[in-house]
């Protein structure tokens, strides 16, 4: 197979796989079976395209191949009777896969697939892996490398997730009523988890993994089109668009981290900033129409927008950011929110105020082992001239993170406070 054909197949699969799996899942009502059938269609393409060439409409070709595989499966394995027993009332009427409607309602099918892959019956880790597999089109190896987990571990998570969905008889549908809000929050949580792992990797040699950010952004944009009346969906899109706009400026020539206040803002992607601000306006307008308060993702997007609108760090409206964190702390209280609020308070009102807030939450169990707590505290101590204490905080922060780039950054900051100290990296 030529590299061009191989690249074309990979690109088509990454774009079309979610649509194919979603359509098959609606017909079979089994996400695991749907993915197997879609993979078989991909194998058929790998066998035939090198000789026949890539079709003019490769997505439609894969759809047709997947449909044929599904027909063969139901014919040869006689699953219609089993489906009768599972589906209850429809069994009495005679269940037949809806092959004629296979290519209709793709948007609805994708939305159903998103809610199924992110079902709360699964662990957060399983939801993230299954979402990247089914909706991101990533291979098991790609997911494993993204999260720095052994490939067999990811494979087991995906297999168990599909088995759990089948055993729990999770319906392939968009939830309604009160259940929608709960399930939607699970979907948004998974997408943002994927984005955050790309934006600030928890471990490994790379501080950022842009491909993961791109996958999360793509999923959120799809969701925003499919659930266009949900303000928090647009809030999450806005937050990630604005944060992603900084990716090019977050690392130096050698991949070293560059913190927000030190970034060259000319390197920010201003198209993404504009898209993010537009999504924020949609979220705020939908909240106003519903007569409700801004949700947590929209509030975080509003905070990110304060940075995006500032041409220089000195122009940042820190008092506005403090007020937004006040609202976020009331709506979604957490020690991490309190830590971020302390940073904003320090910038708006002085490091003494920020340090007092930090020390008030330092004993929180959720912050034990969280490297950003001593890192932020070290920042405040530097500004207060307490350099020996600051050095100790940076060293402690370095001992708590598993990201090699971040370790070097923190140790360099510690060494800079003691010119005679040589740090072995």
Q: Which residues of the chain are under the pLDDT cut of 50?
A: 87-106, 422-425
pLDDT of residue 137: 79
Contact between 246 and 197 under an 8 Å Cβ cutoff? The reply is no
- Describe the chain by its helix, strand, coil percentages, rounded to 5: 75, 0, 25
* CB contact set of 163 (below 8 Å; sequence gap of 6+): 32
Dihedral of CA 249/254/255/256: which sign? Answer: negative
Distances (CA, A) of 188 to 62, 223, 262, 294: 29, 9, 30, 15
DSSP codes, 271-290: HHHHHHHHHHHHHHHHHHHH
**Gyration radius from the chain CA atoms:** 24
Domain ranges of the chain: 1-96, 317-367, 369-425
Question: What residues pair up with 203 in beta bridges, in sequence order?
Answer: 402
d(CA 138, CA 7) in angstroms, rounded, equals 14
What is this structure's pTM? 0.79
pLDDT of residue 236: 98
pLDDT of residue 207: 86
pLDDT of residue 411: 96
Packing angle, helices 31-52 and 3-28, rounded to 10: 150
Distances (CA, A) of 220 to 44, 162, 176, 402, 420: 30, 22, 20, 28, 49
* CB contact set of 1 (below 8 Å; sequence gap of 6+): 46, 50
pLDDT of residue 420: 53
Per the structure block, which two tokens stand in for 156? 């087991």
Residue range 343-395, pLDDT digits in tens: 999 999 999 999 999 999 999 998 988 999 999 999 999 999 999 999 999 99
Residue range 10-56, pLDDT digits in tens: 888 877 888 888 888 888 888 888 898 888 988 988 888 888 888 88
* CB contact set of 90 (below 8 Å; sequence gap of 6+): 84
Contact between 381 and 389 under an 8 Å Cβ cutoff? The reply is yes
């Amino acid at each position: 197979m030529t590299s061009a054909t191989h690249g074309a197949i990979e690109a088509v699969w990454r774009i079309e796989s979610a649509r194919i799996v979603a359509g098959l899942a609606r017909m079979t009502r089994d996400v695991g079976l749907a993915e197997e059938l879609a993979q078989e269609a991909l194998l058929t393409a790998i066998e035939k395209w090198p000789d026949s060439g890539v079709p003019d409409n490769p997505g439609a070709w894969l759809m047709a191949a997947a449909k044929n595989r599904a027909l063969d499966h139901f014919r040869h394995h006689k699953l219609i009777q089993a489906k009768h027993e599972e589906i209850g009332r429809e069994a009495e009427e005679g269940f037949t896969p809806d092959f004629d409607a296979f290519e209709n309602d793709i948007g609805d099918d994708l939305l159903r697939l998103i809610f199924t892959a992110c079902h709360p019956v699964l662990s957060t880790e399983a939801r993230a892996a299954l979402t990247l597999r089914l909706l991101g089109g990533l291979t098991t190896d790609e997911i494993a490398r993204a999260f720095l987990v052994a490939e067999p571990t990811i494979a087991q998570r995906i297999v168990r997730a599909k088995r759990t969905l089948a055993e729990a008889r999770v319906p392939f549908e968009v939830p309604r009523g009160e259940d929608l809000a709960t399930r939607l929050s699970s979907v948004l949580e998974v997408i943002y988890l994927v984005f955050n792992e790309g934006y600030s990797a928890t471990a490994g040699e790379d501080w950022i993994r842009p491909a993961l950010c791109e996958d999360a952004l793509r999923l959120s944009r799809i969701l925003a089109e499919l659930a266009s009346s949900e303000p928090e969906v647009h809030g999450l899109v806005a937050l990630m668009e604005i944060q992603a706009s900084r990716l090019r400026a977050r690392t130096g020539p050698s991949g070293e981290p560059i913190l927000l206040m030190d970034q060259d803002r000319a390197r920010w992607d201003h198209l993404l900033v504009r898209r993010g601000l537009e999504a924020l306006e949609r979220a705020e307008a939908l909240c106003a129409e519903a007569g409700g308060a801004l949700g947590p993702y929209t509030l975080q997007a509003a905070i990110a927008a304060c940075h995006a609108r500032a041409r220089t760090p000195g122009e940042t409206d820190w008092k506005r950011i403090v007020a937004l964190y006040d609202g976020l702390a009331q709506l979604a209280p957490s020690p991490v929110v309190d830590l971020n609020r302390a940073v904003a308070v320090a910038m708006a009102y002085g490091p003494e105020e920020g340090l007092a807030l930090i020390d008030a939450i330092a004993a929180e169990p959720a912050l034990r082992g969280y490297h950003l707590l001593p890192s932020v505290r070290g920042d405040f101590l530097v500004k207060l001239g307490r350099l020996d204490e600051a050095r100790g905080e940076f060293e402690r922060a370095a001992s708590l993170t598993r990201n090699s780039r971040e370790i070097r950054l923190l140790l360099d900051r510690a060494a800079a406070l003691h010119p005679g100290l040589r740090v072995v990296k």
